[in-house]
Chain A
Amino acid sequence: MKNFYIACLIIITGIILIQACSKLEPRPLADDQLLDGPVGELNYEQNQRFLAGDIAFNDEIFTVEKGVGPIFVATSCGSCHAGDGKGHPFTTLTRFGQVDETGNHFLDQGGPQLQNRAIPGHLPETIPTGATFAKFTPPGNTGLGFLELVSDQDILSMADPHDTDGDGISGEPNWNTVPAYISPSNTIKYICRFGRKASIFNLLQQTVNAYNQDIGITSVYATKDVYTHQEIDPEVSTQTVNNVAFYLQTLKAPIQRNQQDPEVINGGAVFTQIGCENCHKQTLKTGYSPVQSLSNKEFHPYTDLLLHDMGSGLDDGYTEGSAKTYEWRTTPLWGLGLSPRSQGGSYFLLHDGRATSIEQAIEMHGGEATKARTNYSNLSKADKDALLKFLKSL
């Protein structure tokens, strides 16, 4: 009988453990500490597409058998955008061959993107003689769907190419042609908004380009192999490309932390006061979207999606679309404070990751941002600290 009681005790203990097991598991991070995750209120079908895109983006690894190589930059989307955040110098890519709006004159020599890696037995590309180049650190992915839905009218309303208001800020959109799968005309120029030079029209184009130029994978949208420059069969399905585009469209916007902290509130006021907000617009709004959580919403990306002269210090002699070599799109600042969570614990800021702190990034601003940078330099230590805390809260 004693054995029976012992056995019962063991079984009861086991049942309690099974019931309590989830208490022994790690708690999830707070939503405002994470960049990944969908916008709220997706319906069943939208959730399925988001999950399919999530898997294709973060889990699908391309091998030689699946189309990588002979030359490439990365083997998966997730390699460059850990946790959907900003990238690391390891995944920085190089583009070359265009100095003005007349286009890229090195397309027949591998332009616009350097394929800097090669599978065994092959050699990677090198930058052709005479070509200028710039390096690009992968940006964060979060909230891109909101940016895609800002109307052209709203972008134009923030533009002031001739600085008619005399504030020293003369932002303008990047007018660029778009691929045939977006518009059949190759002469009409559209307002573009994605990428460091704002040369990409929408997230489908961004996805197609990334598959093709970053991983060397062809699709029905981009049929030319980056190595042979010949048309080959699609190496990724159209459904997958569309799912990834949908995933990018429906990633949530970063959530600001410590919003009620007086120092953060003060830092936000300093941000506006010294002129940062002239380009890093706090609030934009979306137009209609079939995704309810994206449709007609106000959001806070801290960008105007326009190109600005950033001065000679950031002029690498390379450009895209109608942008000048010294012009860069205002980088959205949302998610800035979470950058170290995806950049290996450090900051790698500005277009090529050359700034390793927020302070350095501010001090490297030139051109139209010179006045704001000077104002920043003249701030008291307390105000600088507050500003920094505000930026890290984003």
Chain B
Amino acid sequence: MNIRNILLIIAGTCILPFTTHAQIDPSLLKSIPKDTVKQTMNMDAIYNRPFVSVGKLPVSVGGYMEANWQHLGTDGISEGHQFQFRRMTLFVASTISKRIKFLSEIEFEDGAKEIAIEFAALDIELHPLLNLRGGMIMNPIGAFNQNHDGPKWEFTDRPIAMTQMLPATWSNAGFGIYGKYYSKDWMFGYEAYISGGFDNSIINNEENKTFLPAAKNNPERFEESASGEPLFTGKVAVRNNKIGEIGFSYMGGVYNKYQDDGIRLDEKRSVNIWAIDFNTTLPELNTFITGEWAWIKVNVPETYSQQYGNKQQGGFIDIVQPILKRNILGWRKATLNLACRLERVDWNVGRFKETGGNIADNLWSIMPAISFRPTSETVLRLNYRYQQQKDLLGNPPSVTSGLSFGISTYF
């Protein structure tokens, strides 16, 4: 399907409800705000978004956009002022019948350079503890992959470890089950899916490193799994309303095309990923803390280049402190936050066979921020990044720093 057709379908989906009510009264556009009362977990992020529905139509729509200005320099060299339209995402949700619903998320990145269906799945509730989901699912590895909407974050950039080590946003055609259980302040949730997965590009790519996001570039992956084996993704999470939420997740399977046309090409090689995520709000201070850490193990042939590592790890922690919550510039519940993100990624954990010395290929970054939320669904954010990145050999790090300003809003 070409881009034009996709645009036509999206436009049609959005415009159809309005054209059927040619003289529609705007008051009929019912805003369904983000549910902040119902107890939610990270796994609910897909549905926990603001939508707009029209009259009694069973379809509701929504979306968000992100745009940035940045001025970054690396080792004294800067590309100058950069204006970036990072992405616009459209959601379309539909309640097909009682306990059957559908939601889709279509993302346009960097203008329209990349258009992707990030999520398009049918959910069938058999029991609150047992729901079936099928379609284009977002693999629940860590928390960020499912909970990645720009307006939810105080930073212009997505976490490096979750996008340049883990492949967020990482969606695949697949099926699975999920469920939740509540008891007073406690919630327990689980998800388990089998889906299409990775391919040889994770150790054969133009990043010159083991790079799981490279598999996103394979246009065939929605119709053909490279290995012919399912990728399993599972997550369990526990939340206490007074303490916070912690999640443990795993994703793994065979990634390589080990046979083709009945001919054995290689042995089966696996990729295994473990992640832990958490979030909490400190009482009294209202400090919001969220973070995620992941470990990756990839079966890389001994005789291949150590340029492509067999172990990776990385993560981030965000600390967000509201410092002002009041009427600001006429917005009644506006919030001013101070925030800071700490990040670390090691793309190649190991030692050189030749010298026994440490393989570097890593970075760390600190990003203080000020964010202003005139409403909970819109954020203006000013970030300063300081980052040091080392090459494979561990040579003196390249230093990147600079400012970025961005806006992001649900609509």
Q: DSSP majority for the A interface?
A: loop
Known: A79-B208, A124-B303. A22 touches B73 (CB 8 A): yes
Quick check: A64 and B204 within 8 Å, CB to CB?
yes
Q: Which of A25, A92, A120 contacts B256 (CB 8 A)?
A: A120
Chain B residues with CB under 8 A of A130: none
Quick check: B395 and A345 within 8 Å, CB to CB?
yes
Quick check: A90 and B74 within 8 Å, CB to CB?
no
Binary A-proximity of B193-226 (CB < 8 A = 1, otherwise 0)? 0000000110111111000000000000000000
Quick check: B304 and A75 within 8 Å, CB to CB?
no
Q: Is A343 located at the chain interface by the 8 A CB criterion?
A: yes
Binary B-proximity of A16-56 (CB < 8 A = 1, otherwise 0)? 01100110111111000000000000000000000000000
Binary B-proximity of A136-170 (CB < 8 A = 1, otherwise 0)? 00000000000000000000000000000000000
Quick check: A63 and B206 within 8 Å, CB to CB?
yes
The CA of A117 and the CA of B204, in the complex, are separated in Å by 13
Q: Is A186 located at the chain interface by the 8 A CB criterion?
A: no
Known: A26-B74, A82-B391, A119-B304. A341 touches B396 (CB 8 A): yes
The CA of A350 and the CA of B352, in the complex, are separated in Å by 20
The CA of A90 and the CA of B308, in the complex, are separated in Å by 13
Q: How far is the CB of B76 from chain A (nearest CB, A)?
A: 2
Q: Is A88 located at the chain interface by the 8 A CB criterion?
A: yes
Query: How many Cβ-Cβ contacts under 8 Å join chain A to chain B?
Result: 118
Chain A residues with CB under 8 A of B307: 74-75, 79
Q: Is A179 located at the chain interface by the 8 A CB criterion?
A: no
- Contact size range, A: 35 or more
Quick check: B403 and A24 within 8 Å, CB to CB?
yes
Q: How far is the CB of B151 from chain A (nearest CB, A)?
A: 20
Chain B residues with CB under 8 A of A180: none
Q: How far is the CB of A59 from chain B (nearest CB, A)?
A: 9
Known: A61-B206, A88-B393, A344-B395. A21 touches B403 (CB 8 A): yes
Quick check: A25 and B266 within 8 Å, CB to CB?
no
Quick check: B329 and A3 within 8 Å, CB to CB?
yes
Q: DSSP majority for the B interface?
A: loop
Q: Is B128 located at the chain interface by the 8 A CB criterion?
A: no
- Contact size range, B: 35 or more
Binds A, one of B139-147, B239-247, B288-296, B353-361: B353-361
Chain A residues with CB under 8 A of B401: 24-26
Quick check: A90 and B76 within 8 Å, CB to CB?
no
Q: How far is the CB of B336 from chain A (nearest CB, A)?
A: 11
Chain A residues with CB under 8 A of B399: 26
Binary B-proximity of A368-393 (CB < 8 A = 1, otherwise 0)? 00000000000000000000000000
The CA of A75 and the CA of B256, in the complex, are separated in Å by 20
Chain B residues with CB under 8 A of A121: 265-266, 301
Binary A-proximity of B61-82 (CB < 8 A = 1, otherwise 0)? 0000000010111111110010
Q: Is A262 located at the chain interface by the 8 A CB criterion?
A: no
Chain B residues with CB under 8 A of A61: 205-208
Quick check: B393 and A120 within 8 Å, CB to CB?
no
Quick check: A25 and B78 within 8 Å, CB to CB?
yes
Q: Is B26 located at the chain interface by the 8 A CB criterion?
A: no
Q: Is A83 located at the chain interface by the 8 A CB criterion?
A: yes
Chain A residues with CB under 8 A of B72: 25
Q: Is B287 located at the chain interface by the 8 A CB criterion?
A: no
Residues 365-411 of B at the A interface (beta carbon under 8 Å): 382, 384, 391-396, 399-403, 405
Quick check: A118 and B76 within 8 Å, CB to CB?
no
Nearest 5 CB-CB pairings of A with B: A28-B76, A25-B73, A121-B266, A344-B393, A89-B354
Chain B residues engaging chain A, CB cutoff 8 angstroms: 69, 71-78, 81, 200-201, 203-208, 256, 265-266, 269, 301, 303-307, 329-330, 352, 354-355, 357, 360, 382, 384, 391-396, 399-403, 405
Q: A120-B304, A345-B394 are in contact. List 8 more A-B contacts (CB 8 A).
A: A24-B402, A25-B402, A26-B74, A75-B307, A82-B392, A89-B352, A90-B392, A121-B265
Ordered by A's residue number, 7 sampled pairs between the chains whose C-beta atoms are within 8 Å are: A3-B330, A18-B69, A25-B402, A75-B305, A88-B393, A118-B301, A342-B393
